[in-house]
Structures are given as C-alpha cells and as structure tokens.
Chains A and B, each alone.
Chain A
Amino acid sequence: MTKPATAQSGTPSSDPPPGGDSPRGTSTGEPPNAESRRRGRSGKRIGDQIFSGTAVGAGVLILVTLAAVAAFLLYEGLPALVADPEELPGGEGFIAYVTPLLFGTVLAAVIALVVATPLAIGIALFISHYAPRRVAAGLGYLVDLLAAVPSVVYGLWGIFFLAPNIVPVYQWLEEYLGFIPFFAGPASATGRTMLTAGLVLAVMILPIMTAVNREVFLQTPRLQEEASLALGATRWEMIRMTVLPFGRSGIISGSMLGLGRALGETLAVAMVLSASDVITINLIDSVNSSTIAANIALDFPESSGLAVNALIATGLVLFALTFVVNFAARAVVARRRDFSGANA
C-alpha cells in the first residue's frame, strides 16, 4: 500500500521537498547541519554563532510565548478562581459562571462542525478531483478569500443579511420538525439564534477545513488512483476506494482544526447571537446560551475589579480547550506523516 506512494511521490520531490504542511524535509535539513557541525569543531565563526543563536532564540521564543500566555492568564485569572463565590458575577462561584458559557461555546462549534465537515469534503473533492485543472487553483483561492473576511464583517452580514432572511426557515423548522428538541421553538422573530451563529461559524471555518482536506486529497498516490480507474471504477468509486481512505486522518484533523477555530471565534458570535445566561438545546428560539469568547468581548469593556479576573479565567478555560483540540489535531497529522509515506 505504501510502496507505490513512496516510489511515486518520493522521486519528483526528493530535491525541493513537497510544499504544503510537510515537516522539514530531510534533504534540506541534513547537509547544512553536517556543515555546521564541522564548522563548530573547527572553532570560531563568530557570525555563525550569533546568527544560529538568534535563530534558536526565535524558536525558543515561540515556546516561551505559549507558556507565557498560559502563565499570565492563570496569574490574572487566579483571583477569580479562589474568590468568594458571592463576589463573582452571578454570585454562585466560578464553575456555575463558566458552565453555561462552556456549553454554548461547544454547542455553537459543534453546529458549525456538523454543517461544515461534509461541505468542506465536497469542496475539497471538487477542487482536487472534479474541477478542470486549469481553474482549480483559482477556485481554491476563492474559498481562501472566505478566510480573509474579517470577523466583524461576518458579524454585520450575519445580523443584517443572514438573520432576517433565515427566519422563514426557522418557522418552517418549528412547524414541521418541532418534535425534535433542537427545533422546539418558538422560532425567533429576529433570527439571531444559536443556529444562525453556528451557520456563520460554519462559513468561517470552511476555508481551513477545505485547505487541509484538499491537501491530503491531492497527496493520494496517483498510481493507486489510476489503478482503480484502469480496473473500470467510476470516478466516485475511485474516490471512495483510494482518496477517502487515504485522506481519512486528514479529514479528521481538518475538522478538529475547524473545531478549534469555531470554539475561539469571538466577534461574529457576539454580534449575531442574542445571548442570555442559560443552558438550552433549543437552537431556533430567542433565548440562547452565550459563548466564552463572545461573553468576554461583550462584558470586558464595561467590567472592573473581580469581574475582569473572572473573564480572564474563562479565557483560560477557552485557551485550554482550544489548545487540547488543536494539539490533538496536529498530533493526528504528525503521526500520519510518519508512516503514510506521502511525504517521503
């Protein structure tokens, strides 16, 4: 299974390592390093030492920054974590304060994921295997443009365009699918509901998910694709038998990256969602849970004292959540690289 892959993608890419997300190609890494070791032994190239020191310093700075983000959030959030429950907003302690927010955050992100995952797979397939090759790159660029749109613009669009126009759909959902708890209604008259927020989030995370999917789909060993076509498979059968199995871990990690984005998205949700302090799974009525990020954005400018610490502590919770999701996603990609042979 991996043999044709190595043979296929190994040969053309041995010199400039393949683009995309591949790790440092061994071919680029090795010779300069052997070189530097020899240099180091022969001693004193002061310029070399300064330069490599700066480079290492920049690398370490990344680690330090991540640690600092956690450390400072913890430092400023700690007063809220240890404070008397009555002094916090809501008056019932930090856990009670953050639970509805956490629920809303996860709910909105999950809606976005459920909507965006199949779409992203479809778009990625369209660009990688269906569109004429000449226009494929341009189409990919169009999808990437969606990622470039600032979230505040998404927010305005969500409020003034999507929300009012989607109200009839909600009324329809309430009338015909009202027996499902998600659509119990009564349908919001403004359309500023959890489902709308989830849809806006879905659009916002489409580009990154599409990009990851597209990349793994394009890495499918060409020989496998051609072999299945030669055996008489239709295009869909070829995709089902070679592209999708090969890209499965890419789809998973792409979805998790999208999930991470959706969890942390702030302004679009803050503007679109009309939120209150509740836990509800009703997606289309006008009472909705808020999300951690939206809550911070809405409350922070007017807060002072312990409320600020409480908001920072919720930020720490969000940071931990997204860190775990992103870390897991990247670990899946990294593990796949080790044995797939796609990046040989």
Chain B
Amino acid sequence: MTTITPPRAPVTSSLTSGVLPKWAPWAVVSGSLSVGLVGGLGLGLALPLSLVIGVLLVMVALPAVSWQVEGGRRAKDRFVTVLVSLAFALAMLPLLSLMITVTQNGIHRFDGTFLSSDMRGVLGEGGGALHAIVGTLMITGAAALISVPVGVMCAVYLVEYGKGRLARWVTLLVDVMTGIPSIVAGLFAFAFFAIFFGPSIRFGLGGAVALSVLMVPVVVRSVEEMLKLVPNELREASYALGVPKWRTVLRVVLRTAAPGIATGVTIAIARVIGETAPLLIITGSTTATNWNLFDGRMSSLPIFTYYSYSIPGARPEFGVERAWAAALTLFVIVMGLNLVARLISRFFSLPTSR
C-alpha cells in the first residue's frame, strides 16, 4: 500500500501537465483583445484599427503561451483554431454591416406612402415603390409558374426514371445551368423575343422567362434531393398494392416530399426575386404600375433600386433615399422568404426525412 501512494501524484500530474486548463485560452484571448483595444484607442487610433491590433495580439499571444506550456504541436493547433474562427468572424462582418447599413438608410423612407404609391409624376420628394412591388411579384410569380412544373418533372425524371447517358447529361447540365450568369439569361430572353417582336421589345413575361432559366436548375436540385430522401419502402408498398407507377410518384413520392419541395421552391424564389441584370435588359423600367405581363415595360424592386440610385432625378437625395428604402423592402422580402422556407422544413418535414 505504501508503495502505491508515491507514484500516484506524478501520474495524475502527467495527464494534466503540459495542457492549458480550459479557461486559459479564453483568458488569453480576451486579455489580448482588450489590451489591443484599450491600447489602440489610448494611442488615438480608430476603433477598427485597434480591433485589428487586438486580433493580431491574440494570434501571437495564444500560440506563445501554448508553446511555453504545451509545446510546438499544440501551439500550432491553437494558432489554426484562431485562424479558422477568425475566418468565420470575417464572413459575418459583411453580413452584419449589410444589415445595419440597409436598415439604417432604408428605414427613413420605409413607410405607408412608400409601399402604396408609385412614381408617376414624382420628381422630388415622396413617391413609392408600389409599381415595383407589383412588377416584382408578377414577374417572379410567372417565373415560378413556369419553373416549378418543369423543375419538379425534371427532378422526377432524374430520380424515378432517369438512367443511362441522358440522365447523366441532364444531371451534369443542370449543375452547369446553375452557373449561368444572370445577365446571360436576360440576353437570352431578349435575343429570343427580339426575333419575333423586334429589338425594342420590353415586357414582363420576357423577364419571367429569363428568371425561369435561372430558377429551374435550383428547383431541380432541391426537389431531386428531397425525392431521394423518400424511403424506397413507400414506393414498394405502393407497387405491391398494384398502384401504377405514375400514381405512385404523384400520390406517394411527391406527396411525401411535399414539404421539402415547398422549402426548395421558396428558396429558389428568394434566389431569383432579387435578380436585377436580366430584368434590366428585358423588362426595362417604368414609373407607372403595369398590371399586364404581356405588354409594356414593367418595373421591379431591384430595377427600381438600381435606377433610383443611378438616375436619382432632379433632387438626388430623394432618389437615393428611395433606393435604400427599396433595397430594404427587397431585403425584407428575401429574408422573409428564407425564414418561411426554414419554418416549412422545420414544422412540416417528415419523420422519415432525417
């Protein structure tokens, strides 16, 4: 018994020695950050610069401390941990800054008048984005009407029917199509309709066609993923009951995947609703509300934002104000759609899907 007691102390300490206690890295991080901040501000530097100094201090101090206690390998590990966390923080900076800038600048004109009046006859103050909101909703709606059936059927083909070379090519080209620049989609719609209606053609449906080119591949990809998640047993059970394949796909597979499909479609809509470039080319812009997709120029929120900034009119300050308010409207719509997509997938997703 007496021989056991002496070794015990070295054993326990060898497990914990050479490792920083859990609180130590945090202490070093917050310590060096605050030293950098206080020192930087104390020397009269700007806040961002002091923050940079603080971060640099962290990158030096933590590995140094770790090197002393834990040795080189762990020091390197700590250093990479700091780098990786820093990368994430850096990515959050623009998101935060975007949200703050857009809200700050846009909230001023984001009011009832803005949402309920158009720009007809407005030269200076006032005016609104009603025509643009109507245009955006109609064009995006039409694009969704075109893309959802095509996209869903294409995904059904890939998952339920597709085999061999054609399916492989479709899969690959759907992926390639997701990378088509949006302006090229607009040029395509223009080139297509200009053949029939002449080079001055500008109308809403053309914009819907252009957006569909961008939207279909997104829909295909997400619906495809959802269909693949439908367990095969469901299909087999349906076949075993003598249900023909097309009814199985319609009533069992698509039905089961419906919430996922809804999520995917919502995200696809959110993706195209902010597209500016194609609409710039094929729908043009106008100041009055146009309810007709088939005739005449049609404004939309992104276009309205762009032109309010680039051609602000006689009193530029009001134009820029409207641009920010329109950007905020667009931002709210897009974030709302993303939120809706999240909620759909959270509350309606199947127990089988995860």
Residues of A participating in the B interface, judged by any CB pair closer than 8 Å: 15-17, 19-20, 22-25, 27-29, 31-33, 35-36, 39, 45, 47-48, 50-52, 54-63, 65-66, 68-69, 72-73, 75-77, 118-119, 121-123, 125-127, 130-131, 139, 141-143, 145-157, 159-161, 203, 206, 210, 234-237, 239, 257, 260-261, 263-267, 271, 293, 296-297, 300-301, 304, 308, 311-312, 315, 318-319, 322-323, 325-327, 329-331, 334
Contacts and interface: CB of A to CB of B under 8 A. Distances in A.
Interface string B186-197: 011011101100
B318 to A, nearest CB: 15
A29 to B, nearest CB: 6
A318 B183 contact: yes
B154 A66 contact: no
A317 B310 CA distance: 27
Contacts, number: 324
A90 to B, nearest CB: 20
Contact of B161 (A33, A159, A325): A33
Main SS of the interface on chain A? helix
Contact of B84 (A52, A125, A300): A125
Given A19-B225, A123-B88, A73 B176 contact: no
Given A126-B88, A266-B276, A148 B270 contact: yes
Given A32-B245, A62-B220, A150-B274, A156 B324 contact: yes
Contacts of B244: 39, 45, 47-48
Nearest to A200: B94
28 contacts: A24-B159, A33-B163, A59-B170, A62-B216, A63-B169, A65-B216, A69-B213, A75-B191, A76-B190, A76-B191, A122-B88, A123-B84, A130-B85, A139-B88, A146-B91, A148-B270, A149-B95, A152-B330, A155-B309, A156-B309, A161-B97, A234-B77, A264-B183, A267-B302, A297-B276, A312-B191, A319-B184, A331-B172
A72 B192 contact: yes
A69 B184 contact: yes
A149 B157 contact: no
A77 B192 CA distance: 12
A63 B170 contact: yes
Given A69-B213, A327-B176, A152 B232 contact: no
Contacts of A161: 97, 101
A8 B14 CA distance: 35
